[in-house]
Amino acid sequence: MPLSSRSYLRSFVDSAPIIGVLLAALALGGCSAVRLGYNSGPTLVYWWLDSYFDFDGEQTLRMRNDLQAVHDWHRKSEVPLLAQMLKDLQGMAPKPVTTEQVCAIVIELQTRLHVTLDRVTPTIGAIAPGLQSAQLEHISQEFERRNSKWRKEWIDGTPAERSERRVKQIVERVESFYGTLEPAQLTVVRAHIASSSFDGSRQLREMQRRHQDALQTLRKIRSGDITPDRAGAEIRGLLERTLKAPAPAYRRYMDQLTTESCTALASLHNSSTPAQRTRLAQALKGYEEDARVLAAQQPGDD
* 3-state DSSP of the chain: CCCCCHHHHCCCCCCCHHHHHHHHHHHHCCCHHHHHHHHCHHHHHHHHHHHHHCCCHHHHHHHHHHHHHHHHHHHHHCHHHHHHHHHHHHHHCCCCCCHHHHHHHHHHHHHHHHHHHHHHHHHHHHHHHHCCHHHHHHHHHHHHHHHHHHHHHHCCCCHHHHHHHHHHHHHHHHHHHHCCCCHHHHHHHHHHHHHCCCCHHHHHHHHHHHHHHHHHHHHHHHHCCCCHHHHHHHHHHHHHHHHCCCCHHHHHHHHHHHHHHHHHHHHHHHCCCHHHHHHHHHHHHHHHHHHHHHHHCCCCCC
Q: 11-46, pLDDT tens digit by residue?
A: 333 323 333 333 343 333 334 455 667 788 888 888
**What pLDDT, on the 0 to 100 scale, is given for residue 220?**
92
Give tens-digit pLDDT for 55-96: 999 999 999 999 899 889 989 999 899 899 999 999 999 999
Q: How does pLDDT run across 95-123, given as a tens digit for each residue?
A: 999 999 999 998 888 888 888 888 888 88
The pLDDT of residue 193 is above 80: yes
Is pLDDT at 9 greater than 80 in this prediction?
no
Per-residue pLDDT tens over the stretch 247-263: 999 999 999 999 999 99
Q: What is the pLDDT of residue 253?
A: 96
Q: What digits encode the pLDDT tens for the residues 199-245?
A: 999 999 999 999 999 999 999 998 877 888 888 899 999 989 988 89
* pLDDT of residue 184 exceeding 60: yes
| 277-287 pLDDT per residue, tens | 999 999 899 88
Residue 301 confidence class, pLDDT cut points 50, 70, 90: low
